[in-house]
Amino acid sequence: MPQPLDLSASSIDITRAICDIESVSGNEGALADAIEAALAPLEHLDVVRDGDAIVARTDLGRGRRVVIAGHIDTVPLNDNLPTEFRTTEDGTEILWGRGTVDMKAGCAVQLKLAVDLVAPNVDVTWVFYDHEEVSDALNGLGRLARTRPELLAGDFAILGEPSGAQIEGGCNGNLRAEVRTSGKRSHSARSWIGDNAIHKTAPILATLAAYEPRTVTVDGLEYREGLNAVGISGGIAGNVIPDEAMVHVNYRFAPSRSADEAVAHIRELFDGYDVTIVDLAAGARPGLDAPLAQQFVAAVGGPAPRPKYGWTDVARFSALGVPAVNYGPGEPVFAHHDDEQVPVAQITAVEDGLRRWLTA
């Protein structure tokens, strides 16, 4: 059984402690137990458990509520636990190991502040959720949104996704489609009898190669779109003309477009083909026009907010009508990397930024 969490320690040491409690998706129970045990005795928090998601809320009657969330699961290990403190060639002190970036450093900051901030200037809901790194159907935040939406209600939300300790507004939407062609099977020695479905993918690939993705300004942030083939399949045997082929297309679309509009765009581009949408997630607008968001940006300081190009769970808050941003320690390029590592200074910076805002 893991050692009890010492939340009087620094956020850096808490990061190391929760990273060393292995919690690959589907195995979050031990870490959820430890978080619940550490938060439940605190008189200023009402703690609710839903599966392996822990929700801790203040109820101070502040009139405004902020939700601050992070997922506690990780991708599988690859000889990168336990964590280690290291120093890079340029002298940067880092914490190395699975989960340090995605996204237990952000969760550690949440835990530290949940304990310390007995009387924040707004009511705060702290959310630690499970199953983010696997299928959407299992996502703990999605489960709460479906079954306990009252626990996620708020005027503004922050997701601790790694953002290099900078504010990243909203996120692009994500669509995956299978574009199929059909033909007629025959022996390749008599290919004129058949109709080659693989050859018919050429116009699909030409459309993708010629496509010029947009850069779209949404509430002051520039979101870059992308439309790409990410897979292609077809073929039966070395002497058979194939009667079916498929190009797997991924479309990352700016939050100015709805999910339905993104689908319509793809169907228009590939009109005449058999198009199946296999995954679809709407994006989220930056959320920076909300008064709480503006106060947050001012309190954090530093570089101007930038867009989040990948899809994140801020979109779940947006769907609930809660404006949300990404703000967490760690560079996204190290997420899921076997050399996962977070500069310890970024952990402290995110803690300081949130603390200034919640106590101003």
84 is catalytic: no
List 28, 132, 155, 161, catalytic entry: 132
Asked if 132 is an active-site residue, the reply is: yes
HEC assignment per residue over the chain? CCCCCCCCCCHHHHHHHHHCCCCECCCCHHHHHHHHHHHCCCCCCEEEEECCEEEEECCCCCCCEEEEEEECCECCCCCCCCCEEEECCCCCEEEECCCHHHHHHHHHHHHHHHHHCCCCCCEEEEEEECCCCCCHHHCHHHHHHHHCHHHHCCCEEEECCCCCCCCEECECEEEEEEEEEECECEEHHHHHHCECCCHHHHHHHHHHHHCCCCEEEECCEEEECEEEEEEEEECCCCCEECCEEEEEEEEEECCCCCHHHHHHHHHHHCCCCEEEEEEEECCECCCCCCHHHHHHHHHHCCCCCEECCCCCCHHHHHHCCCCEEECCCCCHHHCCCCCCEEEHHHHHHHHHHHHHHHHC
Which sequence positions are flagged as catalytic? 73, 132
